[in-house]
Structure 1
């Protein structure tokens, strides 16, 4: 499948799931996580819609790494979750992860995933998508059992789940693209990379 990739890109993320998606489609890339103040940018955009914040974070990551590697196409990506009008970030501790899951119990989560491409420090493309995930009622006993199995792997996951691991235990239903749930609107990304000549068209 590597022949489908024409130009190596940089993935401005250390996310296992995003790397796995690029690996699966045969994209040649180097992962260089972006160093930006995500929480600061979110605070500046506190009145903006979650989808707009996710796209702004994806673009900021792509631009930051692109400034250091101007000759390469850089892919930035980000995900935000919204439950009942409240945005949730990655849990900072196992205790906070349990608090998040108690808040999610029986609720519908909207997961916004965004991506951006940059080159020479300039943003060339931004896209995004969303999925809706209905949590089942989660007992305290289940939450502790779940975190015993999944912590600390879910520490870096908004929504406190890995859909490719034990995450499906949390949900009654999921409506949306599987790649968006994994953390990146992959079909949109591939279309944008084809437009840039980075993968075969």
Structure 2
């Protein structure tokens, strides 16, 4: 274990992108994906929804780890300007409809994350990023869907992948759009869990 890392870190997510970001930050961790029902409650805002999901994911993994372990969980969604929550598309038609909604518009990306130890919440936050898309043609949408990239990503796109050419502006955390607001998470891991990545002395 990293000499700076006193507590064991558990990533309660199967996201390869979150795993890559934490690994790039010099952290050592175990991956234990959390399985919860992710369904918005009636009149629940996007921010409240991702915050609740992150908390429930951390809680779901608590019984599988030691009391001293630190659990990091996260949930990311896309919300249109009309407050429509877009999670991972369930079909090609679903993905097409999502991308049409995002085309030539700005939307919000929310990631909620929780740090938990022994069933106790250390910190929970929701980070917001505003992303603007250029107009996407019907042919581009079909080609992107054919690449299969949309299907494991909130909002039906990956900003770090083939959809990067759709984006004209990012206002806020770029890594938040990928699935984890890394700068904020690293500071909170240091301050609330005593886990220091190599970049923080």
Q: Calculate the TM-score normalised by the size of structure 1.
A: 0.90
d(CA) in 2 for partners of 1:105, 1:163:
14
| 1:15 correspondence with 2:15 | yes
Q: Does the Cα contact within 8 Å between 2:77 and 2:109 map onto a contact in 1?
A: yes
Aligned to 1:199: 196
d(CA) in 2 for partners of 1:127, 1:154:
26
Aligned to 2:186: 190
Q: Does the Cα contact within 8 Å between 1:7 and 1:199 map onto a contact in 2?
A: no
Moved over 4 A (4+): 1-4
Q: Does the Cα contact within 8 Å between 1:92 and 1:155 map onto a contact in 2?
A: yes
Which stretches in structure 1 are left out of the alignment for 5+ residues?
A: none
Cα 1:147–1:3 shift into 2, 3 Å: farther
Cα 1:48–1:187 shift into 2, 3 Å: same
Aligned to 1:134: 132
Count of residues paired in the alignment = 195
d(CA) in 1 for partners of 2:124, 2:49:
12
Aligned to 1:174: 170
Q: Does the Cα contact within 8 Å between 2:108 and 2:131 map onto a contact in 1?
A: yes
d(CA) in 2 for partners of 1:73, 1:120:
8
* Residue 75 of structure 1: how far off its partner (Å): 0.5
Question: Which of 152, 156, 163 is 1:160 aligned to?
Answer: 156
Please say which of residues 120-129 and 108-117 is displaced more in the overlay: 120-129
SS, match of residue 90 in structure 2: coil
d(CA) in 2 for partners of 1:2, 1:154:
35
Aligned to 1:107: 105
Q: Calculate the TM-score normalised by the size of structure 2.
A: 0.90
d(CA) in 2 for partners of 1:16, 1:4:
24
d(CA) in 2 for partners of 1:135, 1:179:
17
